[in-house]
């Protein structure tokens, strides 16, 4: 081996060792990538908290039903006054709130002795296409007589749902008192303009 080639070999060794050492340092310096980035983990936690908070803000079923009875009662008096656009509005609100209840709790635990799961979505589908739809038709036809009979039949359907969820004590009846005092039911009212 010439002196030169010995020098070359030594140099190669030194360079190789240096590159190796550098690589090792580099590799050690690289943080191991976490499965979930730190920022995403924080977001997930916030999201979880938001879901809990939003769930706590959803009104209970009894509250939604209080709205149903409010609109349903107003519907009766709007129709008595032959205020058909207002009746239509109250009908839509009634139906919309029942749908809200179902969206929130499509199935519900009966409060009866069996505590069985009840599919109230299915129950309402039957009502929506029969007794509730008949009320809608009577309003559209502005037919007071038909309205009165369909309204009463629908009350029986309201009750059928209450019974199926083990609450037979929630027995509806024909409204006896107008509860709405700030909306004028009179379709001929002239004030305010
Ligand atoms: C698809 C099922 C379903 C239908 C249809 C339904 N309800 Fe209900 N209603 C319920 C359930 C469930 C409750 C009990 C909620 C609870 O216990 O938290 C209830 C409760 C009520 C309450 C008691 C609210 C309270 O806490 O004082 C009234 C009033 C009421 N409903 C009126 C009506 C009227 C009027 C109709 C018909 C226009 C109707 N409901 C149709 C399911 C239904």
The count of structural domains within the chain is 2
Residue 124 Cβ < 6 Å to ligand 1:
yes
Contact at 8 Å (CB) between 95 and 193? no
Please give the pLDDT value at position 35: 63
Work out the number of other CB atoms within 10 angstroms of the CB of residue 82: 15
Which protein residue has the closest C-alpha to ligand 1 atom 6? 158
Domain membership of residue 14 (yes or no) is: yes
Domain membership of residue 46 (yes or no) is: no
Residue 161 Cβ < 6 Å to ligand 1:
yes
Q: Can you name the residues that pair with 117 across neighbouring β-strands?
A: 109
Same domain flag for 67 and 134? yes
Same domain flag for 98 and 154? yes
Tell me which residues of the chain have a pLDDT lower than 50. Answer: 1, 7, 10-11, 14-15, 19, 22-23
Domain membership of residue 10 (yes or no) is: yes
Please give the pLDDT value at position 13: 52
Same domain flag for 69 and 8? no
Same domain flag for 73 and 117? yes
pLDDT tens per residue across span 104-132: 999 999 999 999 999 999 999 999 999 99
Same domain flag for 23 and 103? no
Mutation to probe ligand 1, out of 67, 76, 162 (largest number of atoms < 8 A from CB) = 162
Please give the pLDDT value at position 141: 98
Same domain flag for 1 and 93? no
Same domain flag for 106 and 160? yes
Structural domain including 160 reads 59-164
Degrees, nearest 5: CA angle 181-185-190: 105
pTM: 0.81
Tell me the CATH number at 75.
1.20.120.290
Instruction: For residues 7 and 21, give the distance between their C-alpha atoms in angstroms, rounded to a whole number.
Output: 21
Please give the pLDDT value at position 37: 61
- Is the Cα dihedral 183, 90, 155, 138 positive or negative? positive
Please give the pLDDT value at position 20: 53
């Amino acid at each position: 081996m010439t002196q030169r080639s010995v020098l070359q070999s030594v140099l190669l060794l030194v360079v190789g060792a240096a590159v190796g050492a550098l690589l090792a340092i580099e590799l050690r310096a690289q943080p191991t990538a976490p499965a979930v980035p730190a920022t995403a983990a924080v977001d997930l936690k916030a999201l979880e908290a938001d879901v809990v908070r939003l769930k706590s803000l959803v009104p209970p079923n009894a509250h939604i039903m209080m709205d149903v009875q409010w609109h349903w009662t107003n519907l009766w008096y709007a129709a008595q006054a032959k205020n058909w656009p207002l009746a239509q509005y109250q009908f839509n609100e009634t139906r919309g709130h029942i749908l809200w209840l179902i969206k929130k709790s499509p199935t519900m635990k009966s409060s009866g002795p069996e505590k069985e799961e009840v599919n109230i979505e299915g129950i309402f589908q039957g009502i929506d296409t029969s007794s509730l739809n008949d009320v809608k038709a009577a309003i559209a036809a502005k037919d007071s007589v038909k309205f009165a009979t369909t309204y009463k039949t629908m009350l029986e359907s309201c009750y059928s749902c209450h019974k199926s969820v083990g609450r037979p004590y929630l027995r509806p009846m024909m409204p006896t008192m107008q509860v709405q005092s700030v909306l004028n039911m009179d379709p001929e009212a002239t004030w305010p303009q």
